[in-house]
Structure 1
Amino acid sequence: MNDIILSTQNGEPVASSRDVAKRFGKEHNHVLRDIKALEEGVSKNGQTPMFFKSEYTHPQNHQKYPMYLMNRDGFSLLAMGFTGKEAVQWKLKYIEAFNQMEKQLAAQHKEQQAVQDANIQSAIDRVIEARKKLDENTAFLDECRKNREDSKAKYMQVKALCGEFKAIYGQHCDTVRTMENVVRGSQSYLTSAIDSLTIVAKGYPFYAALMDSLLDGLPAKKKEE
């Protein structure tokens, strides 16, 4: 590309006051002075920050000195007063550097968003699967409990066949206990799935509505676990 050096700040490309001073043949302390004056004006007008205080370590004495980082708008505002043939050439190079960096950041953001979307969808699928399994196991547990109560009623009413119905009632009790453990396991799996979804999706605008949709019908205690 060219020999312009940019970095990133708050997700946008920025140039350093040191590099700008070097390219345009300026004293760095003069550039710092101009930036401070511009910064005051920007602040008074309530504009979005364009300049960011920073520092660098001198390679010889290893002391730290102040410098600024500036985004495209900050650079444009600062370089507006730079004149001369070489100044125009460096302005064009900086514009190209900002354009290229912004394209790279946009491409990276797109890739990161694709990965994020895939992770969220995977987490959503896991919650849906866990919710479905919990509903199925809970419904079967309810059926087992009903069967247990029915067999208990018959055991209590039919004395002549009490041994047979007692055995049936015992089997239903065992089934209910087994299914209660299964349902608790399903609830734990759903809680784990919800936690995973929260990690990858919390903070997104759709998060609250998504969780309400996925957990609709569950007791409040289950939702909070």
Structure 2
Amino acid sequence: MNQLVFINNGQPFTDSLTVAVEFQKEHDHVMRDIRQQIAKLNEAGEREWGISNFGETQYQHPQNKQWYSKFDLTEDAFAIVAMAYTTPEAMKMKVRFLEEFKRMRNQLQPATVEDLIIMQAQSIKDMRQRVDTLEHRTNKAAETVKEIRDTFLFRDEDWRNKINGLLNGATRRLGKSYRDMRTTQLPNA
């Protein structure tokens, strides 16, 4: 049996890869389901909750060594995603996951007040790192938007090459092909 829940920065998590394997779904379908749930949270005004419970990251595929996106999920995020899976087998799997989250939480219970303070400090540090990462991504996106705007406004003879360069760079960073990128819907900024 695969490990369903793991410890990440002192907190129990699972990830989209584990959910895909255990629920016998394609990983890209699980990623689609997660993105749909995040979009619904944003529509409901729960963007901050989504950010603190769904952590998009990357993993390297063991066979082709390419980098792909995945999500780390807190117990609450897992519950929201898993609600959509309703077959009897899925219900059994949800129970297994939730029992494993509970077991991990019990293992992580602090023994002393000092342990609790250390855990809280680590949590604050982790959250600050996530905020810094988001700020960095936002700044990079703003720079890219400015570059695209400037390219379209000035339309020099090299503007198509500049646009292609931007798109090719974006596809490389996302670990996708240019063809895949053309059909990818990007989230609203």
Q: Report the TM range for the smaller structure's normalisation.
A: 0.5 to 0.7
* C-alpha distance 14-116 of structure 1, shift in aligned 2 (>3 A): closer
When the two structures are aligned, how many residues end up with a matched partner? 114
Counterpart residue identity of residue 114, structure 2: Q
User: Is this contact kept in 1: 2:58–2:70, CA < 8 A?
Assistant: yes
User: Is this contact kept in 1: 2:14–2:74, CA < 8 A?
Assistant: yes
Q: Which has the larger radius of gyration?
A: 1
Q: % of aligned pairs identical?
A: 32
Counterpart residue identity of residue 19, structure 1: T
Q: Deviations over 1:153-199 (max 9, x none)?
A: xxxxxxxxxxxxxxxxxxxxxxxxxxxxxxxxxxxxxxxxxxxxxxx
* Alignment-derived partner of residue 35 in structure 2: 36
* C-alpha distance 37-115 of structure 1, shift in aligned 2 (>3 A): closer
Q: Which whole-Å CA distance do the structure 1 matches of 2:96 and 2:9 have between them?
A: 22
* Alignment-derived partner of residue 82 in structure 1: 85
* Alignment-derived partner of residue 19 in structure 2: 20
* C-alpha distance 114-105 of structure 1, shift in aligned 2 (>3 A): closer
User: Is this contact kept in 1: 2:5–2:97, CA < 8 A?
Assistant: no
* Alignment-derived partner of residue 55 in structure 2: 52
User: Is this contact kept in 2: 1:4–1:93, CA < 8 A?
Assistant: no
SS of residue matched to 1:60: coil
* Alignment-derived partner of residue 168 in structure 1: none
* C-alpha distance 59-83 of structure 1, shift in aligned 2 (>3 A): same
What displacement does 1:3 show?
A: 3.8
SS of residue matched to 2:70: strand
Structure with greater helix share of residues: 1
* C-alpha distance 115-17 of structure 1, shift in aligned 2 (>3 A): closer
When normalised by structure 2's length, the TM-score is: 0.54
What displacement does 1:54 show?
A: 1.0
* Alignment-derived partner of residue 71 in structure 2: 68
When normalised by structure 1's length, the TM-score is: 0.46
Runs (5+) with no aligned partner, structure 2: 119-189
Q: Which whole-Å CA distance do the structure 1 matches of 2:115 and 2:53 have between them?
A: 29
SS of residue matched to 2:24: coil
What displacement does 1:85 show?
A: 1.8
